[in-house]
Each structure stands twice: as structure tokens, then as C-alpha cells.
Amino acid sequence: MLSRRTLLLSTGALGLPLPALARHSGALGSKFADEPLLHGLAPVDALPQPLPVTEPGRRLLNRGWLFHEGDIDTPPPVSHNDTYGNAKAGNARGPAAVNFDDSDWQPVTLPHDWASHQPFVQTANVSQGYRPRGIGWYRRTLRLDPAQRGKKLELQFGAVATEATVWINGSRAARNFSGYNGFTVDLTPYSRFGDDLNQIVVKADAVPMEGWWYEGAGIYRDVWLAVRPPISIATNGVHCDPRLIDGQWQVRVTVTLESVADAPGAQTVTVELRDPDGRLIVSDSVSAQVPALGTAEARLTLNPGTIRLWSIEQPTLYTVTVIAGEDRRVIPIGFRTIRFDADRGFLLNDRPVKLKGVCLHQDHAGTGVAVPDTLLEWRLRRMKDMGVNAIRCSHNAQAEAFYHLCDRMGFVVMDENRVFNPAPENLAQLTWLVRAHRNHPSIILWSVFNEEPMQGTASGVAMVRRMQAAVRALDDSRPVTAAMNGSFYDPVNVSQVVDVMGFNYYQGDYDGFHAANPRLPVTSSEDTSAFMTRGAYATDRAAHVMSSMDDEAADWGATHRKAWAAIAARPFVAGGFVWTGFDYHGEPTPFEWPTTSSFFGILDLCGFAKTAYDIHRAHWIDDQPVVAVAPHWTWPGREGKPVDLLVTSNTERVRVIVNRRIVGEAACDRIMGNSFTVPYAPGTLEVQGLRGGRVVTRSVHRTAGPAVALRLTPARTRVRGDGEDAMPVTIDAVDADGNHVPTENRMVTLSLNGASIIGLGNGDPNSHEPEKGNRRSLFNGLAQAILLADEGAGRIVLKASADGLRPVTLTLPRIASEPRPFVPVQPSVISIRNWRRSPATAAMPDPASRPADGDNNLWAFVNSGTPTPPDPTPQWRVYRAELPLRRRIRERGGVVRFAAVAGNARFYADGVLVAERTGRADGPAELTIPPGTRFLSVLIQSVPGTPSGITGRVSLSAE
């Protein structure tokens, strides 16, 4: 009986050509096994699982932002009044001003990397991928419920590239000087409630560069709003520290509490430990006294008894829930022991584990650094498919989701600091990294730097010692390392003070260094640096193309096979981290323009496999047999000419078969692979892996004919309709028999319903095609579109067409799913909030009255909604405000609405009476102002014994 999945496939619901499915009985998996270039890209049926909700009370603030690319010139103040006001809280000028005219700004949803939208420009920085960066501005209106008054309110920024300044209601509230660390902004003292709206402004200055790779620009990670009780748990304020002590597991829990309350208070903290099935194992409570506007720590230790260990093969996670009154945190933890040994390498749970690692930057084709969580999960799944068990964060902290995914999927992680400097600002970035990530069982190493010229100096040693001390003060359960690219034999160098020596390259020095330092554990923190262009099998340096036959490497590096051979042969080397898992934008070594991205990746920018993928599968996969062969088998015009083959496998013997005839067989060389040369004959090229004389795995290339149709292959058979689920779709061309055509490079045009395209790519390091839009050419047979699903249940329909090829339609179900909790979008409202109020007079004053220049004391500064205390006799006062600049209102006029005015009132626009109102009680007022109006004056006569003035909100809108 056919499964539902088989029925979907056989009816072409996934966009696959029906002839191919008929020939292969609808078995997509077997079809892809016959197409090694697409290996690992077959759809999976499971929806991505939600990430842990570590702080149930916070909500996403990703929606409702307005963006302006480029800086905005703000003339300096000239007059004394303007200069005086410029120095005061709440009086930010230019785009940071509360009422700045942002009516022509672009609506955007975060995460947002505006550099990924840029064209490639030859005069731009080569290391940044020839994409201009610069300065961008973001604005967001936020309404806070009056019930939240008195609570701790905090904005949490995942990261902003590169230097960020944040204003809240016209006051500069925070600065951050790195594009890689998260930071918080205490919203509490600036907050307004109800219809008195809040304005958040962020200036993202991406002119400074922290790295020598593509860094993106803008608010490219999540932003959250946390609403907490007055005494609450601080951000990153829970440290769960499982330790094996005298054969018994303990969980030491430290909770940092903070207060915005007016008085000291006692807080009881309850900590619960639950097993992977959610069953309560143990709980305990402790109390702490928290000073007003201060902090305190609560500590306790849980004894869980018998537990299940976290490992790479079985990443078992427990949960610690911390409850402090109405506040709580939910922290996944894992029980495992780690140790680096000078002779045995890395030991996980007292078992030697070779680190089969990759270095990863954080960008992807089309999306830049604004990588959605579900796309990040797919990227990590590509690493898992290859046998990777370790990841080095190069050379900076990654997104919050990355660490949760590594915990869940079973990766161990070297977490790396960005800036090597113990100055207070930089030390704060390092301590943030440790505080934010120390609960993750996946992390096994803290790296304080990468390839620093001061690594062989006394100053460098002193800097490392201070940074190491800062790390150990927060977490002494993991060793500290540094990625060194030399100087390790110098009389003074940082290898003398780190816990684990990290080699960047220098494979020839493993033995010598180990002999000279027999008690110091070592690992390769970075190795290989080999070059490959995906789908190309001969080097053409004039065209900036590098062979994928693993025969090209940087002068300082080695091929994939040689680099791993040096590591695999030495038990004392804990493992290695290949540079890199994926290609990345920027650093186009060994070329420059027109090349815009790297060649180092095992996979290309889209996650399509290069030959290195199969090389490392043979190196790193132990639990299943694998075999692969490069290159493909479509070489029209080369009939009868010799073709060099590279066969990679983890079996005992490998066999090569061309058109059902055995043309070669040899004992398998798992590290270096096996080379064969055979004459090209169209048909089939099959390689087999044998164990005990029996074929246990095979891989087949079929010669493709001319392309006749397109094919669309999604990463999953369904998507979540939560507005955040992003999924790659592979685009390729097939011949009349459904075979993948690896030489096709035609332009493809896409149309889409039920989702949006947030990025395009094809893995070509030399392509200058836009990575946004709906058109992308195939490159050596492949391209990719990243889809972001709309909210709600329904269908996604993606259509692809190309000149001369049969178009294809992909239909996917979109499953209704609850989005993560988010702050509703608040329409921007123009408020007139700041008024000058004249002294009281018995006689009606001149409506043109205004404070004299320099008068900051006689006329009071008041906000709308603030009543003037009662007078014993009727008194007149002038309330004067400058209208917020809005081009449309200046040109056409507008309407001013007073929610409440108390007293007899006369309203003037630039000195001209436009409305009157009489009455003792508070009441609304509305007036129309003519075009060009700059100032509004309200003359209010108080009623004895009753508060007067502008007692409610004042708003301005176009007619």
C-alpha cells in the first residue's frame, strides 16, 4: 500500500517531473541516492521543532519597524535655546527625535541585513564581499499597557551590525560597539504608558569593520521586549552548573536578582529540575534580600541522583526551571564531563572523541547574516549529514538559536570571542558571551582570540591572562584556548598560559610542539583552507575557478585529505576545525574582483555539496557505509578521452563500474581516497563500497541529455504557517529521463503565493546577480530560493520557468502554527507632547507671546496630560508648542486633536485664532490648521478651584 508521502510524490506535488517519478516508482530517496550532487537534499517530512522558551514573559519586537538607509544630516543647533535643549534628556535631534518625520521610511521586519540588498561594487571593500555598508536608521513605535507601570521593562537586542546607538523617547539610552554580542536596554526609566506612546530609534553604523569577512549591516538578530515584576531575574542571570563530584551529580544553581522597586524586598527563589520527559526530579527553594535598585544572588545545589548523560550520539537534555515570584526562566541543561588530555585528546564522558569540526561564519546565500532560525537549523543538519560533531564559532558569538540547536542536535562547540582586548568595553563583550552561553552543554571551549599578532609578546600574554581570569570568574568548568597562527616556540607566548593550545594550520609542528610541551593539550582550531568551486573539476585561474578534485589549497593550508591525515594519525591532537563548513560572502581568496565570496567551504554558499563533502563523509561517518565519486558523468565531446576519478569511502574496498563493466577495484584508502583514470563513455558511472566481499553501498552518476524541464525540491514537505518558517528550495534542470543536468546554467524566473522569497543564490563565487527578487540563474546545474511562509493555514505555490524548458509548479501545505509571542504593531501617531507654559496673568495675554531666547526658567516645561494646579481666581496662561515637521501637513494642513483640555481655551495657529472652547470640566477639542503652520498656542483661562491646562494627549494628523 502506498504511503501518503509516496502519493504526494507520485502526483508531482513536490514539483518533480512526472517521467522521472514514474521511472523511479515515486521513490524520491532512491532517486537522490543516484544523484550524488544532490545527496542530502531530499525533503524531510517533519516540521522544525520550536526552540526552547527560556523566558516565557518576553515577546518579540521584530515587527513594525521603519528603516532608512544612509545617514541623515542633522544641522547643529545655532540659537541658544536650541543649544540648551540639545543638551537635555528627551531632546534628541534629527532622526532620533521623537517626532521626526519618518513617513517615507521603508517598513521592515527583523531580522534585517540591509547589506544583503546591495549591488556588488568594485570600489567597496573586498573582504566585505564588495557590498557597500554605511549607516542605517530604524524607528519603532511601542505602546505599553498602563498595567505595566512599575515593572522592569527591558529591550533585548540579539545583535546589531556594527556599532549601535539606541534612543528611547528622545534620550540616548544605550550604545554597543560590536556587531556580534547581544545587549540590553533598560526601558523602565524612559517608559510612557497607554496612549502616551514610546519611540525606539536605533542607529546602526556599519562603517566600522570588526572582521575581514562579510559582516552584514543592521538589526540582523531578534529583538525582544521583556516585562518583569519589580524584583526579577536578571538577563542571563541564571547559571546552572552540573558537576560530577565524588561520583555523584550535583547541579549548582546561581540566580542573580535585580530590583526596580522603591524599597528593599525579600524574594523566594524556587528551582525545579525535570527529566527529558518533563517529570519533576528534585526541587528546592532559597530566599534573598534584594536592595532597592540593586542586585542580589541566590544559590542552591540540587542532587538529581541517577541521570542520563548528554553526548554527541544521544544529546539528552534536562530542564531547570527557576521561579522568582511572577518571573521565571526555563534552562535546558545536559549532564556530561569534558576533559582535554595532553596524550589522548578530547574526552567526553571519559571517552576519547575526535573533534570532526568545521569553522562557521553566520551568513547564507540571499539572506546575508539575517538567517532565520529554521534556515540555521537546516544548515546545521547539512553539517550533521556530513558527520560533523564539532563547530567553531568563527570568529564571534552566534545567534541564540545556534546554541540551542547544537545542544539538541549533538554538536560540541568552541565559542569564540571577537575582539582581543581586556579594555572594559571589550571585556564586557567577553563576559556577556560567557554569561549568555555557559548553560549550554554543547560548549566545550572558550576561545579568547583568533590569530593575533601580539600572541608572542609579553603584552599578549598579559592580555590573555586578564581575559582568561574574566572567563574563569564566570565559568571554570571549561578550558580557555586561543587560536594561534605562529609564535608558539617564542620565549614568551600565549600557549604558556592557555588551557588548550589551538593550532591554526602549522600541521608540520604538531609533533615538535607536543614534544616540547608534553603536558599541554592541543587541538587544531583551524585547518585546511582548501579551494573548490562547486561543480567545477578543472582549475581556470583566469576565470577565477578552482577545481573540486581536492588539489588546490592556500599556501598556508593543505588539501582536505592531507589536513585530516595529519590530525587523524595523532591521538594527542584533539581534532580539527576545517576552514570552512560553508562558503561565505567576502574574503574571496585567492582572487579579488569580480569574485565576491570564498572558495573555502565544504559546501557552497547555498549548502550544495562540493567534493569535500564526500571526502569528509568518508573521514567522519562511522555508523553507516558511504561511497562517492567525483566528477559527474556528463562530458559531451570527450568520448573516449581519459577522466580522472576520485572515489571516497569508509568501506574496505571500492569498485568502479562503467556501463556495467568493472574498470577498477582497490583496497579503500579512507583518508586519501582512491584515484582511477577511465575513458569517458556516456551511460552510467557506478562506484561500490565493499565489506567482506559484499557490496554494502553504491553511488551512481548517469550521463544527462539536454535539459528539458525544471525541478523544484523543497527541504521539507510542509512548512509552519507562523510567519517565521524559512525553507530552502533547490532548483535544478533535468533531461527527458529525469536525470539531473550538472552543466545547465539557464536563468530561472520564479513566482510565488503563500510565502515570500527572502533570498536567492546559486553558489557561484563570481556571480553578481542580485540575491533578492525572483530571478536567478543555475550555476553548474543548481540554484536555491529561500522561502518565508505566510501566517495561517493554506498552500504555498511556487512556479519556476526558464527559456526552452518545461516549467514546474511546487505545491506545499502550510500548517497553521502559533507564532512566537510578539508585540503588536502600533501605528505611528504624531504626538505634540512638549509645551512651554507662561506665567499666570489675570488679563488675557497676547497669543503671540513666547519665551525669550535664553529663558529656560520663566516659562515652564510641561507635557500634555499634566494638569496645572487649581487657582483661587481665574488666571490666563499661554501653552506654546512647535508642531512636529511633517512634509504633507506643512503642504496641505492638518488636524490637531486634544483628548482633554480643562478651562476656557482659545487655539491659535501661528498667532491666528482657529478655534475656541469653553467649559469647566475636561473635554476634547479638535482644530484644523492651515498649511505651513509652525507653532500652536493655546490660551487657557482657569476656573477657580479646578485644575486647568492641556490634561490629555494631543495628536496631529493630515486632513
Q: How far is it, in rounded angstroms, from Cα 655 to Cα 279?
A: 52
Residue 347: CA atoms inside 13 Å, Cβ hemisphere, count? 12
Confidence label for 920 from pLDDT (cuts 50, 70 and 90): low
Whether the CB-CB separation of 691 and 651 falls below 8 Å is answered with yes
- pLDDT, residue 586, reads 98
List pLDDT tens digits, range 517-561.
999 999 999 999 999 999 999 999 999 999 999 999 999 999 999
Is the torsion defined by CA of 578, 583, 589, 591 positive or negative? positive
Minimum mean pLDDT range among 279-293, 744-758, 909-923? 909-923
Confidence label for 5 from pLDDT (cuts 50, 70 and 90): very low
**Dihedral, 629, 634, 639, 640 alpha carbons, nearest 10:** 0
Closest CA to 567 of 607, 536, 529, 528: 528
pLDDT at residue 203 tops 90: yes
More confident call, 75 vs 746 = 746
List pLDDT tens digits, range 819-872.
999 999 988 788 999 999 999 999 999 999 999 888 889 999 999 999 999 999
pLDDT at residue 632 tops 90: yes
Distances (CA, A) of 784 to 5, 113, 717: 23, 19, 16
Confidence label for 15 from pLDDT (cuts 50, 70 and 90): very low
The secondary structure of 411-443 as a DSSP string is -EEEEE-S----SHHHHHHHHHHHHHHTT-TTE
Distances (CA, A) of 420 to 147, 153, 206, 431: 44, 32, 20, 13
% of the chain with per-residue pLDDT over 70? 96
Q: Residue 326 CB: number of other CB atoms within 10 A?
A: 12
List pLDDT tens digits, range 340-358.
999 999 999 999 999 999 9
Minimum mean pLDDT range among 585-599, 639-653, 729-743, 908-922? 908-922
Is the torsion defined by CA of 862, 866, 872, 878 positive or negative? positive
**Dihedral, 22, 23, 26, 30 alpha carbons, nearest 10:** -170
Closest CA to 583 of 838, 379, 437, 410: 379
Average pLDDT over residues 69-88: 90
List pLDDT tens digits, range 768-786.
999 999 999 999 999 999 9
Q: Which amino acid is at 510?
A: Y
Confidence label for 14 from pLDDT (cuts 50, 70 and 90): very low
Cell 530542564 identifies what position?
A: 319
Average pLDDT over residues 501-517: 97
pLDDT at residue 194 tops 60: yes
What per-residue string of b and e applies to 510-520 under the rule 16 or more CB within 10 Å gives b? beebbeebeeb
At residue 164, the 3 state secondary structure works out as strand
List pLDDT tens digits, range 81-90.
888 888 999 9
Confidence label for 918 from pLDDT (cuts 50, 70 and 90): confident
Residue 827, burial from CB neighbour count under 10 angstroms (0-12, 13-18, 19+): exposed
Whether the CB-CB separation of 761 and 583 falls below 8 Å is answered with no
Residues listed for the chain: 959
Run of H or E including 880: strand 876-882
Confidence label for 17 from pLDDT (cuts 50, 70 and 90): very low
At residue 471, the 3 state secondary structure works out as helix
Coarse DSSP helix, strand, coil percentages of the chain, rounded to the nearest 5 percent: 15, 40, 45
Whether the CB-CB separation of 732 and 739 falls below 8 Å is answered with no
Distances (CA, A) of 691 to 615, 651, 655: 19, 6, 11
Confidence label for 2 from pLDDT (cuts 50, 70 and 90): very low
Closest CA to 945 of 893, 890, 903: 903
Q: How far is it, in rounded angstroms, from Cα 931 to Cα 451?
A: 62
Which residues, at least 6 apart from 279, have a Cβ–Cβ distance to it below 8 Å? none
List pLDDT tens digits, range 559-583.
999 999 999 999 999 999 999 999 9
pLDDT at residue 473 tops 50: yes
The secondary structure of 663-726 as a DSSP string is EEEEE--TTT-EEEEEE--SSEEEEEEEETTEEEEEEEEE---S--EEEEEESBS-EEEBS--E
Q: List alpha helices for 558-598, DSSP H.
A: 560-568
**Largest pairwise CA distance in the chain:** 112
List pLDDT tens digits, range 435-471.
999 999 999 999 999 999 999 999 999 999 999 999 9
pLDDT at residue 402 tops 90: yes
Closest CA to 773 of 307, 30, 117, 8: 117
Confidence label for 13 from pLDDT (cuts 50, 70 and 90): very low
**Dihedral, 913, 917, 918, 922 alpha carbons, nearest 10:** -140
Run of H or E including 460: helix 458-474
pLDDT at residue 16 tops 60: no
Q: How far is it, in rounded angstroms, from Cα 149 to Cα 735?
A: 66
What per-residue string of b and e applies to 652-684 under the rule 16 or more CB within 10 Å gives b? bbbbbbbeeeebbeeebebbbbbebebebbbee
Average pLDDT over residues 914-922: 82
572 grid coordinates:
594527542
List pLDDT tens digits, range 136-185.
999 999 999 999 999 999 999 999 999 999 999 999 999 999 999 999 99
- Rounded to the nearest angstrom, the gap between the alpha carbon of residue 302 and the centroid of all alpha carbons in its chain is 34
Q: How far apart are the first and last CA of the chain?
A: 67
Run of H or E including 10: helix 4-10
- pLDDT, residue 89, reads 92
% of the chain with per-residue pLDDT over 90? 91
Which residues partner with 809 through β-bridges? Answer: 799
Closest CA to 199 of 335, 91, 81: 91
Whether the CB-CB separation of 362 and 369 falls below 8 Å is answered with yes
- Rounded to the nearest angstrom, the gap between the alpha carbon of residue 421 and the centroid of all alpha carbons in its chain is 24
List pLDDT tens digits, range 95-139.
999 999 999 999 999 999 999 999 999 999 999 999 999 999 999
- pLDDT, residue 37, reads 55
Distances (CA, A) of 170 to 88, 723, 876: 9, 32, 31
- pLDDT, residue 793, reads 96
Residue 166: CA atoms inside 13 Å, Cβ hemisphere, count? 26
Give residue 693's region: left, alpha or beta (phi > 0; psi -120 to 50): left
